[in-house]
Amino acid sequence: MAVTGGQTVFANLRARILSGELPARATLRETALAQELGVSRTPVREALRRLDEAGLVEFVPNRGATVVEWTPEQIRETYFVRAALESRAAGLAADRIEPADLDRLAILIEAMEEFVCRVDAEGIDRLGVLNAEFHRVIVAASGVTQLMVLAASVGRAPLMAAHFRRDGVSFRAGSNHQHRDILTALRSGDVLWAEVAMRSHILAARNAVAADQPADQPADQSTEPATA
């Protein structure tokens, strides 16, 4: 598999980490990755540095880069930060969002509806992509660049480990219903409603993580991802 350029290598490795293909505690060696991807060590080194900055890998002495293992408590804390950032973004967006963005959100909700009952990896991955785009559109509609940067950075972590072994389908269906509530709030232009709807949506996922796994156990990074 030939891959070129630091950005492409970064995207390749990031996707594999977030999907669980490269699991927690996996060691990422420059030479082996360069051979696998058909590139020199330079773009691999650049990609690993960016993954470190994103909090997805850490450099361990005498081992190189290792995929970070997130505990359930760290994930719950991340959701709390997301709730603060994205609820504020939703409130700002309620006052500023363009009709085209509202239409885009409606399309994304309908597209997600096709995947909420899927239990195969492809369907779940597709749902995750659509969900991420739904949240990105709202944060972008806030018009605050720093919110976009912070939300994008914080939003990466839970994708790795927020898994729901119990009632995954019913949770995802409920999550998409919450998306509809958020869209209704945005269409109304009600700042407070939009903020509350987004905060409730994200904290519902946080609470599901809390119920799924005790705080003192490593997060299971191999099954179904959250959709918040």
In 3D space, the residue among 221, 14, 162, 19 whose CA is nearest the CA of residue 28 turns out to be: 14
Domains of the chain: 6-67 (1.10.10.10), 72-212 (1.20.120.530)
pLDDT at 221: 47
SS3 213: coil
Residue 214 scores a pLDDT above 70: no
Give 23's contacts (C-beta < 8 A, 6+ positions apart): 67, 221, 222
Give pLDDT tens digits for 147-200.
999 998 786 654 544 443 334 788 888 999 999 999 999 999 999 999 999 999
pLDDT at 222: 41
pLDDT of the residue at 141: 98
Which residue reads 């949506």 in tokens?
A: 201
**What confidence tens digit (pLDDT) does each residue in 75-109 have?**
888 889 999 999 999 999 999 999 999 999 999 99
- Report pLDDT digits (tens) over 112-122: 999 988 877 67
Structure tokens at 181: 């509530």
Task: Give pTM, 2 decimals.
Answer: 0.73
Q: Which two tokens stand for residue 211?
A: 């119920």
